[in-house]
Structure 1
Amino acid sequence: MSEMWDAVVLGGGDAGDEFAASQGVAVKPLLALGGRPMAAWVLDALRASGRVRRVAYVGPTTPELDARIDVRVTDQGSLLGNLEAGVAALAGEAGRRVMVVTADIPMLTGAELAEVLDAAPNAGLVYPVVTRAACEAAYPGVKRTYARLRDGVFTGGNVFLLDPSLIGRFLPRLRALLAARKNPARLALMIGPGVLVRLLLGRLRIAALEARVGALLGVEARALVTARASVGTDVDKLEDLALARRALGLPDA
């Protein structure tokens, strides 16, 4: 029997998001796509996957979104704050992992999500990554940020899986990493100069990266390589929105 998941959907946003403001909405997930909020496409994919038991949505909603949500959670003003609040709101059963999804990946389908979930290893933190070849084949012209590793060229996904009992262990460490991101020397020291040099030169293997991330966060961390480009293709700007409309067979605005 396939594993059933609780899901946290991150639908909050930066109050100063110029893209959202240009579309006449407070946060990106509320912008109209095919006559409904972009977040509705994501929520429908979760339900269509047949793998989701409950959904906690963090951020502002509409009546249309409310009909698709089990638990509403107020936007906490930061990504990690929203993650923590969403997981806490579900208060799942011991041993049940949680899926975390951003509300700006409208091309995601239920079948693709089910495939990713069914392939996920049993680890404290699982982060899907998508091959560049898969992204460019699925969405010609798509622009993503890629990392070159010994195993291939990848972009990060907008879905990850975690054991909620470990969140108190790794969130403080993740906050420290994010706080150091504007201080290259401090960040390099935390990551490890040897690991950083190999990463920059494209010589780092996924297994080594998993080990380093796990050591930094204090949890077993695993990457899940997937060819499902929708997992790693979010909508951040007008050209992304145009790409999403084409991919979904919708008319131009």
Structure 2
Amino acid sequence: MNLTRPPTRPQWNAVVLGGGDPNDPLAAAHHVHVKTLIPVAGHPMALHVLRALRDSGRVGRITYVGPTTPDMDPLIDVRVTDQGQLLRNLEAGVQALGDTGARVLVSTADIPMLRPEELRDLLDEAPDAALVYPVVRRQDCEAAYPGVQRTFVKVRDGIFTGGNLFLLDPGLVGKFLPRLREVLAARKAPLKLAALIGPSVLLKLLTGRLTVKTLEEKVSAILQVPARALITPHASVGTDIDKEDDLTLAERILRA
């Protein structure tokens, strides 16, 4: 009697957002079309992200949105042309995956320090919600990368920076994407943003009295889908490459 269990099918597909502004000064300084193609430790930074996805053992199909290099292409199942806007790229990438029944990991291509085991840990810990957004505590970022400069937000539960990837149910993208567009459009208009968030929640946020649970509830109400935060200790999730100092850090970490 054969008791060998069949191999587990990956639970996730992935969309990697590798587009960008061709006028980005960091990309121009390194003579590439977009910054995600800048070499780090001898390879485009996007290639490190693709390898982490493949080596995690949790990801099936990968859609890549944006320009690629020949050494990246074997790791990609579907290539999608940069649509020029973040949410358009997200929507096009999810559509290109097709209806496979798997949940979707969406990642930017500028987090080259992400390791397969960190990604595996994050995906295995992810709650079952329509939208999951990983966040990293400040002390975890500073312990992993002393002196790293990130944007942090203080809430009652601690001081956090946002991750550069999130998890979603592809069947609900059409439901929350219009509301997400509305939020992003209001982010530079304080009165509109306050109206969306609500004055009491905004006041708590500004004074550091907001809790993660309250924020989850408010985001769920705004987007009209269940949304959860996922606190992860993996600083690489919240450390993207925006400037030369970030490149120097990534080069040192990856070569070590």
TM-score, normalising length from structure 2? 0.95
Does the Cα contact within 8 Å between 1:98 and 1:162 map onto a contact in 2? yes
**RMSD, matched Cα:** 1.1
Does the alignment pair 1:120 with 2:126? yes
Contact conserved, 1:2 with 1:118, CA < 8 A, in 2?
no
1:201 aligns with 207
Question: Any idea what the Cα deviations from partners look like across 1:11-61, whole Å, max 9, x if unmatched?
Answer: 000122111111111111101112211100000000110001110000001
Counterpart-to-counterpart distance in 2, 1:119 and 1:183: 35
Q: Deviations over 1:215-252 (max 9, x none)?
A: 111110000001000111000110100111111126xx
- Residues 8 and 99 in structure 1, CA contact (< 8 A), matched pair in contact too: yes
What is residue 134 of structure 1 aligned with on the other side?
Answer: 140
Q: Is the 8 A contact 1:6 1:92 kept in 2?
A: no
AA partner of residue 147 (structure 1):
V
CA distance in 2, matches of 1:92, 1:12: 23
- Alignment equivalent of 1:146, drawn from 152, 157, 163: 152
Q: Which residue number in structure 2 is paired with residue 63 of structure 1?
A: 70
Q: Deviations over 1:129-176 (max 9, x none)?
A: 001000000001100000101111100001100001111111111111
Hey, what does 1:83 align to over in structure 2? 90
Identity %: 62
Q: 1:222 is matched with which residue: 228, 232, 253? A: 228
CA offset digits 1:45-80 (Å, max 9, x no partner): 001100011100000011111111010001000110
Match of 1:5 in 2: 12
Partner of 1:245: 251
Secondary structure in 2 matching 1:63: coil
1:64 partner SS: coil
Tell me the amino acid that sits aligned with residue 18 of structure 2.
G
Separation (CA, whole Å) in 2 of partners of 1:54 and 1:166: 19
Match of 1:170 in 2: 176
| Mapped partners of 1:248, 1:201: distance in 2 | 38
After superposition, the C-alpha distances for 1:193-221 in whole angstroms (9 at most, x for unaligned) are 10001001110000000000111111100
Distance 1:2 1:209 in 2: 34
Instruction: Using the TM superposition, give the Cα deviation of residue 2 of structure 1 relative to its aligned residue in structure 2, in angstroms.
Output: 7.9
Match of 1:102 in 2: 108
**Unpaired stretches in structure 1, ≥5 consecutive residues:** none
Q: 8 Å contact 1:12–1:60 — kept in the other structure? A: yes
TM-score by length of 1: 0.96
Q: Distance in 2 between matches of 1:86 and 1:2?
A: 21
8 Å CA contact 1:3–1:118 kept in 2: the answer is no
Instruction: Return 99-108 or 16-25, whichever deviates more.
Output: 16-25
Which whole-Å CA distance do the structure 1 matches of 2:90 and 2:14 have between them? 11
* Match in the other structure for 1:54: 61
Q: Which runs of 5+ in 2 are unaligned?
A: 1-7
